[in-house]
Structure 1
Amino acid sequence: MQIHDQAARLRREADAVLEEQGLLAIARPLGETFVGGSYFYDLMTWRDLDLYINAPDVSIEDYFAFGAKVTVRFHAWKAFFTDSRTEGRGLYWGVRLGDTRSGAWKFDIWAVDATQFEEASAGARALVRRLTPETRDAILHIKDAYWSDPRYRDTITSASIYAAVLDDGVRTIAEFEEYVSCPGSGPQS
């Protein structure tokens, strides 16, 4: 399957999760929502959604009730909560609908304050403005090669792939492999 066709299929699946299956309907009572990450960038290579909720005053009790609704609605395999407000990151639910490396959905859901919400959406818009057909193609191919790799989400992240392509001129899987094995060795170094 062509990488762009695969990304479009995943985007349609994500739309169904968000709208038809009701993830956004569950989140909206807490505050304004923004779906960021690879969904917003139109760079999906695996089933991952990053949802931000502008909910600066949500209580932990209400956020737990929200997490319970998501867990029940989507028959979550695993759901975990983190209070990262002291680090300036907000409240977090990580929801897994099964083994993500085998293709199950993963939701990263953040309840944040207005400043964090605006930073997330502004940062996403800024990254989209930097994408070209060439860089979009390179990112999709590299992400597709790595999303099920054990290093992905540990030492290799989507953000590191975006930086390699957009900041350091990496365009191929081979160049990225060299890039991660010898930092600073990218095409523009």
Structure 2
Amino acid sequence: MTSPASDEELSARQAALRAEAAEALAELDLAALVAGTGPMLFTGSYVSHLMCWPEVDVMVHAGAGFAPDDVLRLLQRIVEHPGVVGFDYRDERGPRSPTGTTRDERYHVPIAFARNGRDWRIDLTLWLNDPHTNLPAWHETLRDTITAGQRSAVLRIKDVWHRLPGYPDRIGGLQIYTAVIDDGVRTPEQFGTWLVAHGYPES
């Protein structure tokens, strides 16, 4: 049975993942591929420097007129890269909006990108009605205000939870940040208890 990674190892792993993410994004040249669609922004743990697995959240404000066939034309350009090995497509307009609001209508298109023996998830969101610039701003604030103890707790909990099937779509970073920063949770075991107390599934 392997020992849990130390705080220093988790921090070093985070830094290495973030550096590799920048290289993967440059190789895919996603910014050029989506340039005709709308401005591209990064959000999530790539911005907050709290990465624990090979995934990058990317947002593009495509606009209200962006249609499913436009998504397919964009994907046609993306899948021409030999490293792109798959994608998922979710039309989350109207009642399928993640929050039920018009503001959060989107196409959700996670892209599987294989590079140097590692499988990356490029979690692409195409927003229709709002650019959601508040999201990267929130993660920048998190990056700048999180304490060393909170950061270690977040990385340790993520190190356990990202291996579970429900991460990040059912249980993700937001729940971990809330538990650690607002409620003082510090260990994966405490986080499991926190999830139950707040009505979430544990995995």
Tell me the TM-score normalized by structure 2: 0.77
In proportion to residue count, which structure has more helix? Answer: 1
Q: SS of the counterpart of 1:105?
A: strand
The match for 1:174 is 189
Separation (CA, whole Å) in 1 of partners of 2:108 and 2:196: 32
Greater alpha carbon shift after TM alignment, 20-29 vs 48-57: 20-29
Contact kept in structure 2, 1:36 and 1:52, CA below 8 Å: yes
Gaps of 5+ in 2: none
The match for 2:164 is 149
Separation (CA, whole Å) in 1 of partners of 2:128 and 2:16: 32
Q: SS of the counterpart of 2:192?
A: helix
Matches within 5 A, 1:5-16: 5-16=12-23
1:93 aligns with 2:101: no
**Structure 1 segments (4+ residues) deviating >6 Å:** none
Q: How much does 1:48 deviate?
A: 0.8
Contact kept in structure 2, 1:53 and 1:117, CA below 8 Å: no
Contact kept in structure 1, 2:60 and 2:131, CA below 8 Å: no
Gaps of 5+ in 1: 185-189
| Aligned residues between the structures | 181
When residues 150 and 55 of structure 1 are mapped into structure 2, their CA distance, relative to the original with a 3 A threshold, is: closer
Matches within 5 A, 1:9-158: 9-56=16-63, 57-86=65-94, 87=97, 88=102, 89-97=105-113, 104-113=119-128, 115-153=130-168, 155-158=170-173
Q: How much does 1:135 deviate?
A: 1.2
Separation (CA, whole Å) in 2 of partners of 1:162 and 1:64: 34
Taking only the aligned residue pairs, the percentage that are identical comes to: 27
Q: How much does 1:126 deviate?
A: 4.1
